[in-house]
Structure 1
Amino acid sequence: MLYNALLSLTAFMFCLSLFLVHKASVLENDFRKVQGDIILQLNQPRSEGVNGKLAKMSKTREDIKPSTIQISQSSLKISSRRVKRGQGSCRAPTSFLQLTANTNKQPSIRGNITEIPWTVSAQQGNAISANENRIVVQEDGYYLVFGQVLFESPSTVMGHVIRSWGSTTSGTGSTELLCCLQEISDAAAANTCYTSGIVQLRQNDELELVIPYRPQALISMDAESTFFGVIQLN
């Protein structure tokens, strides 16, 4: 009896083991199938409705690398600098003209004024030119006008005037722009008289530096002592 009971228990346990192994195999196959379905769903592109648009936008943003953005920004900066340099290079150079006393000639008397003979010592641009003993303005604008004369006449007051000649309603007239006066003493028989200022000039205005009412003025004709010039400011 005991032997038969043990034999029956052994057979039951064997059958139970086979059943459990079969169930475990079935469960494992079901798990793998579900796992495969999940992976397949995740790999499919989401292109429907709003979710699809968001997925595409997200993918597009991910495809844009930071290095590409940095390169584009650098290119824009370089192009901007090139444009600025190009604009600056197109600007016309500043025009100026300086006259110095002509050492080969002597001052001349015209009426009640003394005229200094001039020669061109420095010039740039086309806005200013020299015509005989005057400076001619070719463009409207503001200009820096300057002049200096070294006087060698003792015991007297010496000076010069810078004036412009231009067309007016009544014809051609002169306008006094700058004036300089200097007292020359016996102790210092030589002294300079310098003046400068910013003035507005018109095209074809003519400028001259003259010494009024001093026919016997003694003037140094050195280039570094007596000069007259104009610089364009705009």
Structure 2
Amino acid sequence: MLYHALLLVSTLTVFFSFVLVYKVTVLEDDISKLRGDISNLKPHSNESTDGMRTGMSRTWERSKQAASLNSQQQRQTEKDSQTLCSSTASSQTLGSPTASSLRMKQEPAGCSGVQQSFLQLSANTKEQPFVRGNVTVIPWTVALHQGEAISSTGDRIIIQQEGLFIVFGQVLLQSPGTIMGHIVRSRGTGQRSTELLRCLQEMPQTNCANTCYTGGMVKLEREDELELVIPDRPQAQVSMDADSTFFGIIRLN
């Protein structure tokens, strides 16, 4: 009985040994195949990495070339603009006044030689308003001036070049208990005066200080004369502070 048991155990041991040897052999084959697959994948991975690096390098080179081309084009554009401005300035110097005026209108806005024309007059603190006919006239002094399209003489603004203009005026009135105001009017060569802007303001009985402001866009011709006056108020009282009473014009084109 003991002999049969030992024989059975020996047989089972031998059987399990064969099974273990078989599984180890299969496992070694699988490991060998896996190593072969890994070794086969490594070259492809390197090639892919190299391809990505090459692609990135080419993209970077194209970007640098495009940036360089844009920079060259921008410099050329600026150079052409400066050349055009210089040529226009030279032609204006040599041409007649009428032709010069036309070229000035056509000159590109980017030319540094073109200046916006404007003029602002402020109340002259050293003088007082005076009566001329049926209007009260405010004495002015030049506060700001730029460009050749506008000039001034005495109490009037003179238009040197026709175009569209913003005209504005403000008067700080100090006459009590009445309707006060001012008008802005223009007069062309050999023409009657034309009223452009009007401002009216009701004045209080006490603490009588009220600002009357008006402004608007008008078309004016060469040699037109503009003035700001207070009509039908010979006893008008006006503040002569420069920041309270002023008269101005800006050329738009």
Normalised to the residue count of structure 2, the TM-score between the two structures is: 0.61
Correspondence for 1:176: 195
Correspondence for 2:216: 197
Question: Which protein, 1 or 2, shows the higher relative CO under an 8 Å CA cutoff with sep ≥ 6?
Answer: 1
Q: How does 1:1-234 map to 2 (within 5 A)?
A: 70=66, 71-84=68-81, 88-167=110-189, 171-234=190-253
Count how many residue pairs are aligned between Structure 1 and Structure 2: 167
Q: Structure 2 vs 1, CA of residues 112 and 73 (structure 1 numbering), >3 Å: closer, same or farther?
A: closer
Q: Per-residue CA shift, 1:123-150, capped at 9, x if unaligned?
A: 1111110111100010010011000101
Correspondence for 1:17: none
Which stretches of structure 1, 4 residues or more, deviate above 6 A after TM superposition? none
In the TM superposition, what is the alpha-carbon distance from 1:73 to its structure 2 partner? Answer: 4.7
Distance in 1 separating the partners of 2:111 and 2:201 = 44
Correspondence for 2:29: none
Instruction: Work out the percentage of aligned pairs sharing the same amino acid.
Output: 53
Distance in 1 separating the partners of 2:70 and 2:241 = 59
Normalised to the residue count of structure 1, the TM-score between the two structures is: 0.66
**RMSD, aligned α-carbons:** 2.1
Structure 1 alignment gaps of length 5 or more = 1-64
Structure 1 or 2, whichever has the larger Rg, is 1
In the TM superposition, what is the alpha-carbon distance from 1:184 to its structure 2 partner? Answer: 0.5
SS in 2 for 1:172: coil
